[in-house]
Homo-oligomer: A and B are copies of this chain.
Amino acid sequence: MVSNHFADRLLEQIAAKKSPAVVAIDPVYSLMPADITQHRDLNDENDLAAALDATLEFCRRVIHLVAPYVPAVKINSAFFERYYWDGIEGYYGLVQEAADRGLIVIGDVKRSDLGPTAEAYAAAQLAEPTFDEVDDLVSPDAITISGWHGLDGIRPFLAVAREEGKGVFVLVRSDNESADVLQDYAGSDGLRFCEHLARQVAAWASDEGLIGQRGYSCVGAVVSARDREQALRLRALLPQSILLVPGHGPEGVPAESCAACFKSDGSGALICASGSVIYAYDNPKYLEMYTSEWEKCIEHACKDFAAEAARLAVTD
Task: Tell me whether A171 is interfacial, beta carbon within 8 Å.
Answer: yes
Q: Among the listed stretches A159-167, A184-192, A297-305, which one makes contact with chain B, having 4 or more residues with CB under 8 Å of it?
A: A184-192
Task: Tell me whether A197 is interfacial, beta carbon within 8 Å.
Answer: yes
Q: Output the nearest chain B residue to A112 by Cβ-Cβ distance.
A: B110
For the complex formed, measure the closest distance between the CB of A14 and the CB atoms of chain B, giving whole angstroms.
Answer: 25
> Residues 175-195 of chain A: 1 if any B CB is under 8 Å from the residue's CB, otherwise 0?
011111111011111000100
Q: Which residues of chain B are within 8 angstroms of A51 by Cβ–Cβ distance?
A: 131
Q: Output the nearest chain B residue to A31 by Cβ-Cβ distance.
A: B116
B196-A178 in contact (CB<8A): no
Q: Which residues of chain B are within 8 angstroms of A181 by Cβ–Cβ distance?
A: 150, 200
B187-A78 in contact (CB<8A): no
Known contacts A117-B79, A132-B48; is-contact A150 B124 (Cβ 8 Å): no
Q: Output the nearest chain B residue to A247 by Cβ-Cβ distance.
A: B114
Known contacts A120-B79, A121-B81; is-contact A151 B178 (Cβ 8 Å): yes
Q: Which residues of chain B are within 8 angstroms of A290 by Cβ–Cβ distance?
A: none
Cα separation A79 to B115 with both chains bound (whole Å): 12
Task: Tell me whether A1 is interfacial, beta carbon within 8 Å.
Answer: no
Q: Which residues of chain B are within 8 angstroms of A185 by Cβ–Cβ distance?
A: 185, 187, 193, 196
Number of copies: 2
Q: Among the listed stretches A4-12, A58-66, A82-90, which one makes contact with chain B, having 4 or more residues with CB under 8 Å of it?
A: A82-90
A176-B152 in contact (CB<8A): yes
Known contacts A186-B189, A189-B186, A193-B185; is-contact A146 B112 (Cβ 8 Å): yes
Cα separation A125 to B79 with both chains bound (whole Å): 11
> Residues 78-120 of chain A: 1 if any B CB is under 8 Å from the residue's CB, otherwise 0?
1101111111110010000000000000000011111111101
Known contacts A84-B134, A153-B179; is-contact A174 B114 (Cβ 8 Å): yes
Cα separation A178 to B113 with both chains bound (whole Å): 12
Quick one: which of B26, B110, B176 contacts A150, CB cutoff 8 A?
Answer: B176
Closest 9 A/B residue pairs (Cβ):
A150-B178, A48-B131, A78-B120, A81-B124, A85-B89, A85-B88, A85-B85, A152-B178, A150-B179
Given contacts A47-B132, A48-B131, A185-B185, 9 further A-B contacts (CB under 8 A): A47-B131, A81-B125, A84-B88, A110-B112, A114-B176, A146-B148, A148-B171, A186-B188, A187-B187
